[in-house]
């Protein structure tokens, strides 16, 4: 907006020319500019302009300027005139042809008021120019807000609210005037700082200097949560932190120590305050709200946030770095710091959020640094106080922690060629995250060793080529230094390059056998059931009790030979389909696969031998005690089958008693770890997810009833009861 200057008195014949030099032009290609003339000798009557009865199409855009003009007209007449003129400018730009209902009448009335007030308000201007006049008025309101905005018990809150509304409008008018004049109203950082001091953006909670007077900030639970977050008593490095930050809280302190971004700090501060307020209300909804945050609310958040972290530490056999003092007041502050640290890590983690155990690794080390700073721990090597490994500017955590891991994710994704590359040649989120399921992840260290194999991107093929080229290129150069190194007693070895880790636990191999391997229990059950029904049908049983006849039962039990063969096939497939991950899989898992093959081969050999021996020379063993059980005959093959079934007893117990299975899977006792190691893969996820006993019982009864019905039907009508069709007998 061009600066408004006073026009000199002129004759009526030249009034149009003079007016054109002192007025702002609002023109289009097909209309002439509007003008405003100057009236001399007319007394100025400071009557408010109607700011309520406005055209519907303009009310949302110009009403605030007219209202502010009415509020400040008695004290700042020239500033009020500029606000009305700005409102006229906005209205004209929105509807140049005055097509809206009531727009033409409104613009005519406002233009007449501007013509009436121009000369009189110009004489009452306190500064030399309109730009300086606006700047002076704006700064007065800004200083007033800064002075009284931080007070929690301000008597005249209505005046403060009006001051903020006026300052907001004046800043907008000042910005328009300065841009039109071609100069800056507030130079550089002064302008940004002035705006940020008054109009801090927020999501739900206005936590800036004047936001305490908002209605939401007067809620008791919000006050309690804000007070807890702003409790920084006893924290180290407070003096250094207060030099950079005025209103210090726990999040500002964490930002100063670990280098988080300002936007992330603001978002997570509000996030934690809302979580604390909600938890506080839930805990005290049946009681009177206490003016202090309860420990129960904080403990509730601690359990939710760090359940995965504590499970991760237990899985890897590491001690948790969340250490809380016994003093109650300090304990709550420590807990809030740990929660705030995790929220800040999560808020800045970007795509690392898809790798929860990677975040656990990062938090594990940063929590140790946090605890070391809180207790004033001293380094044993340097003798100085322990400080965070990554400390610096507001993007230190992003650049030094998040970016290196994100670069690995990005480069591995590029290697996939939109999913067309072989599955074994690139790593996805799961593969990178599964690296942190192993104690080997701690070899990365803290600060992270960027030369670790985890950060290596090259494929095995490229690594071999580079190794051959490097050996040829360095062969001649190493000959000269070989003698000197041998004289010094130094062994000359090739410099080891980072090794691409590859897949961790699973490598996709597209094969028909995957269908069998994935549903091996179902296939085995159906094959063995069909074999048993065929054997029973071949004996022409008249009663189901004839199955317990020694000869018939032994033939039916031949299905366990088939079972041993199927288990051998499954064990061999396990090795085949995990072969590409042999370099990164846990050595204990490799040992288990080998032992499974050996055990399956043993039973595949033992059971047929005993069965053939029993068929060749049948021997009946019984106690002859007179009871039905004592007179029951059993052969050596049946004894071998009994021992074979004992090897599956662990799986049966874990299935039918889920409480025991859950305890074994999540326990760190050696016997439990051994049983869990033999029965299932050692994975961090999916442990202890068994159903309740009642649900399992219902599930088992349903399938038993369904399968028994199916087998009875299949045996009666499909296996033993099939007869020739009538057209075949005729």
Span 74-84, mean pLDDT? 89
Mean pLDDT is lowest, of 158-172, 227-241, 648-662, for 648-662
Average pLDDT over all residues of the chain: 77
Are 546 and 618 in a shared domain?
Answer: yes
Domain of 111 in residue numbering reads as 12-198
Are 366 and 488 in a shared domain?
Answer: no
Most confidently modeled range among 190-194, 319-323, 453-457: 319-323
Span 659-664, mean pLDDT? 79
pLDDT for the residue numbered 182: 58
Band the pLDDT of 16: cuts 50, 70, 90. very low
pLDDT for the residue numbered 304: 93
Q: Is residue 204 part of a domain?
A: no
Number of helical (H) and strand (E) elements in the chain, helices listed first: 29, 0
| Percentage of the chain modeled with pLDDT above 90 | 17
CA distances in angstroms from 149 to 161, 401, 546, 647, 676, listed in the order given: 10, 38, 94, 76, 62
Span 619-624, mean pLDDT? 55
Residue 16, beta-bridge partner list? none
pLDDT for the residue numbered 287: 61
CA distances in angstroms from 214 to 151, 277, 471, listed in the order given: 13, 16, 71
pLDDT for the residue numbered 718: 77
Instruction: Label residues 104-138 b or e (16+ Cβ within 10 Å = b).
Output: eebbeebbebbebbbbbbbeebeeeebbebbbebb
For residue 7, give the 3-state DSSP assignment. coil
pLDDT for the residue numbered 459: 59
Span 72-99, mean pLDDT? 89
pLDDT at 9 over 60: no
Nearest alpha carbon to residue 638 among 663, 619, 655, 651: 619
Span 220-240, mean pLDDT? 86
- Who has greater pLDDT, 632 or 515? 515
Residue 474, beta-bridge partner list? none
Most confidently modeled range among 157-171, 181-195, 533-547: 157-171
The CA R_g of the chain, rounded to the nearest whole Å, is 41
The CATH number given to whatever domain includes residue 179 is 1.25.40.270
Are 278 and 338 in a shared domain?
Answer: yes
What's the first-to-final CA gap in the chain, in angstroms? 109
Token pair listed for 70: 């009415």
Q: Is residue 235 part of a domain?
A: yes
Are 186 and 215 in a shared domain?
Answer: no
Are 275 and 151 in a shared domain?
Answer: no
Are 606 and 679 in a shared domain?
Answer: yes
Most confidently modeled range among 35-49, 427-441, 543-557, 631-645: 427-441
pLDDT for the residue numbered 280: 87
Report the sign of the C-alpha dihedral through residues 169, 172, 176, 178, in that order.
positive
DSSP string, 128-141: SSHHHHHHHHHHHH
DSSP string, 549-609: SHHHHHHHTTHHHHHHHHHHHHHHHHHHHTGGGTTTS-HHHHHHHHHHHHHHHHHHHHHHH
- Torsion, CA 525, CA 528, CA 530, CA 536, rounded to 10: -130
Span 540-555, mean pLDDT? 75
- Out of 499, 527, 553, pick the residue that ends a domain: 499
pLDDT at 385 over 60: yes
- Out of 198, 230, 255, pick the residue that ends a domain: 198
Residue 453: burial class (beta carbons within 10 Å; 0-12, 13-18, 19+) = middle
Are 133 and 240 in a shared domain?
Answer: no
Q: How many residues does the chain have?
A: 730
Number of domains in the chain: 4
Span 634-642, mean pLDDT? 81
Q: Is residue 343 part of a domain?
A: yes
Q: Is residue 550 part of a domain?
A: yes
Q: Is residue 448 part of a domain?
A: no
DSSP string, 655-691: HH-HHHHHHHHH---HHHHHHHHHHS---STTTT-PP
pLDDT for the residue numbered 292: 79
Nearest alpha carbon to residue 204 among 266, 144, 157, 154: 266
Question: Within 10 Å of residue 50's Cβ, how many Cβ atoms?
Answer: 13
Helix (H) or strand (E) holding 348: none
Are 141 and 50 in a shared domain?
Answer: yes
Token pair listed for 698: 């219902």
Token pair listed for 255: 């930002």
Band the pLDDT of 541: cuts 50, 70, 90. confident
Q: Is residue 232 part of a domain?
A: yes
pLDDT at 186 over 60: no
DSSP string, 493-531: -PPPPP-----SS------THHHHHHTHHHHHHHHHHHH
Nearest alpha carbon to residue 567 among 517, 608, 532, 610: 517
Give the global pTM.
0.66
Answer whether the bond into residue 74 is a cis peptide, omega within 30°. no
pLDDT at 48 over 50: yes
Instruction: Indicate the angle between helix axes 262-283 and 295-316, nearest 10 degrees.
Output: 120
pLDDT for the residue numbered 628: 47
pLDDT for the residue numbered 337: 95
Band the pLDDT of 20: cuts 50, 70, 90. very low
Are 525 and 665 in a shared domain?
Answer: yes
Residues 6+ apart with CB under 8 A from 491: 485
pLDDT at 115 over 80: yes
Mean pLDDT is lowest, of 52-56, 257-261, 265-269, 365-369, for 52-56
DSSP string, 202-222: -SS---STTGGGSTGGGSHHH
Q: How far apart are CA 721 and CA 716, in angstroms?
A: 5
- Who has greater pLDDT, 312 or 552? 312
Q: Is residue 255 part of a domain?
A: yes
pLDDT at 139 over 70: yes
Are 233 and 373 in a shared domain?
Answer: yes
Band the pLDDT of 328: cuts 50, 70, 90. confident
Are 626 and 521 in a shared domain?
Answer: yes
Cβ-contact 505, 574 below 8 angstroms? no
Residue 244: burial class (beta carbons within 10 Å; 0-12, 13-18, 19+) = exposed
Span 608-619, mean pLDDT? 78
For the stretch 702-709, contacts whose Cβ atoms lie closer than 8 Å and that sit 24 or more positions apart, written own/partner, are none
pLDDT for the residue numbered 207: 80
- Who has greater pLDDT, 616 or 55? 55
Cβ-contact 636, 610 below 8 angstroms? yes
Question: Within 10 Å of residue 427's Cβ, how many Cβ atoms?
Answer: 26
Q: Is residue 451 part of a domain?
A: no
Are 470 and 551 in a shared domain?
Answer: no
- Out of 402, 421, 452, pick the residue that ends a domain: 402
Nearest alpha carbon to residue 134 among 77, 189, 201: 77
pLDDT at 689 over 50: yes
Most confidently modeled range among 14-18, 260-264, 384-388, 466-470: 260-264
């Amino acid at each position: 907006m061009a600066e408004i200057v006073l026009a000199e008195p002129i004759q009526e014949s030249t009034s149009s020319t003079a007016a054109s030099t002192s007025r702002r032009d609002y023109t289009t290609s097909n209309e002439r500019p509007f003008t405003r003339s100057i009236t001399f000798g007319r007394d100025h009557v400071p009557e408010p302009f109607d700011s309520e009865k406005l055209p519907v199409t303009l009310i949302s855009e110009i009403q605030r300027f007219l209202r502010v003009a009415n509020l400040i007209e008695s004290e700042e007449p020239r500033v009020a005139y500029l606000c009305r003129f700005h409102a006229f400018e906005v209205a004209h730009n929105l509807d140049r042809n005055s097509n809206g209902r009531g727009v033409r009448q409104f613009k005519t009335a406002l233009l007449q008021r501007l013509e009436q007030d121009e000369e009189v308000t110009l004489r009452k201007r306190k500064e030399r120019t309109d730009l300086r006049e606006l700047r002076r008025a704006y700064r007065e309101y800004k200083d007033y807000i800064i002075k009284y905005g931080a007070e929690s018990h301000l008597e005249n809150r209505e005046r403060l609210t009006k001051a903020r509304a006026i300052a907001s409008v004046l800043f907008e008018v000042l910005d328009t005037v300065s841009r039109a004049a071609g100069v800056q109203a507030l130079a550089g950082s002064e302008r940004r700082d002035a705006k940020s001091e008054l109009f801090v953006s927020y999501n739900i909670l206005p936590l800036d200097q004047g936001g305490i007077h908002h209605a939401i900030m007067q809620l008791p639970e919000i006050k309690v949560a804000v007070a807890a977050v702003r409790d920084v008593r006893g924290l180290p490095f407070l003096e250094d932190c207060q030099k950079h930050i005025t209103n210090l809280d726990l999040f500002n302190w964490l930002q100063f120590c670990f280098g988080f971004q300002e936007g992330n700090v603001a978002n997570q501060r509000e996030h934690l305050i809302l979580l604390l307020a909600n938890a506080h209300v839930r805990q005290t909804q049946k009681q009177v709200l206490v003016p202090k945050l309860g420990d129960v609310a904080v403990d509730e958040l601690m359990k939710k946030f760090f359940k995965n972290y504590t499970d991760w530490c237990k899985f890897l056999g590491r001690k948790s770095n969340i250490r809380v003092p016994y003093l109650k007041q300090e304990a709550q502050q420590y807990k809030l710091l740990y929660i705030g640290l995790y929220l800040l890590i999560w808020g800045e983690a970007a795509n690392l959020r898809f790798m929860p155990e990677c975040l656990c690794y990062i938090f594990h080390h940063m929590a140790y640094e946090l605890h070391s700073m809180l207790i004033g721990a001293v380094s044993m090597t340097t003798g100085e106080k322990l400080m965070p490994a990554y400390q610096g500017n507001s993007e230190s955590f992003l650049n030094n922690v998040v970016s290196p891991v994100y670069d690995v994710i990005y480069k591995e994704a590029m290697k996939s060629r939109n999913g067309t590359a072989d599955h074994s040649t690139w790593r996805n989120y799961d593969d990178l995250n599964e690296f942190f399921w192993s104690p080997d992840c701690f070899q990365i260290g803290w600060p992270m060793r960027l030369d670790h194999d985890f950060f290596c991107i090259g494929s095995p093929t490229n690594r071999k080529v580079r190794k051959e080229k490097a050996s040829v290129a360095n062969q001649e150069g190493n000959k000269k230094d070989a003698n000197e190194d041998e004289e010094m007693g130094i062994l000359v070895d090739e410099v080891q390059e980072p090794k691409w880790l590859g897949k961790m636990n699973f490598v996709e191999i597209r094969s028909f056998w995957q269908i069998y391997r994935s549903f091996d229990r179902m296939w085995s059950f159906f094959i063995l059931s069909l074999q048993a029904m065929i054997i029973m049908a071949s004996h022409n049983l008249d009663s189901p009790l004839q199955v317990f006849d020694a000869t018939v039962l032994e033939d039916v039990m031949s299905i366990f030979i088939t079972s041993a063969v199927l288990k051998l096939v499954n064990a061999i497939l396990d090795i085949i389909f995990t072969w590409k991950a042999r370099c990164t899989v846990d050595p204990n898992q490799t040992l288990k696969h080998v032992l499974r093959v050996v055990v399956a081969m043993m039973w595949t050999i033992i059971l047929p031998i005993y069965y053939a021996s029993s068929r060749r020379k049948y021997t009946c063993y019984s106690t002859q005690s007179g009871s039905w059980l004592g007179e029951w005959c059993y052969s050596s093959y049946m004894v071998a089958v009994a021992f074979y079934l004992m090897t599956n007893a662990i799986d049966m117990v874990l299935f039918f008693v889920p409480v025991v299975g859950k305890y074994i899977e999540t326990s760190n006792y050696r016997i439990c770890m051994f049983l869990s190691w033999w029965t299932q893969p050692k994975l961090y996820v999916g442990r202890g997810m068994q159903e309740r006993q009642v649900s399992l019982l219902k599930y088992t009864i349903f399938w038993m009833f369904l399968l028994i019905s199916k087998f009875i039907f299949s045996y009666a009508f499909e296996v033993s009861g099939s007869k020739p069709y009538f057209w075949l007998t005729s």
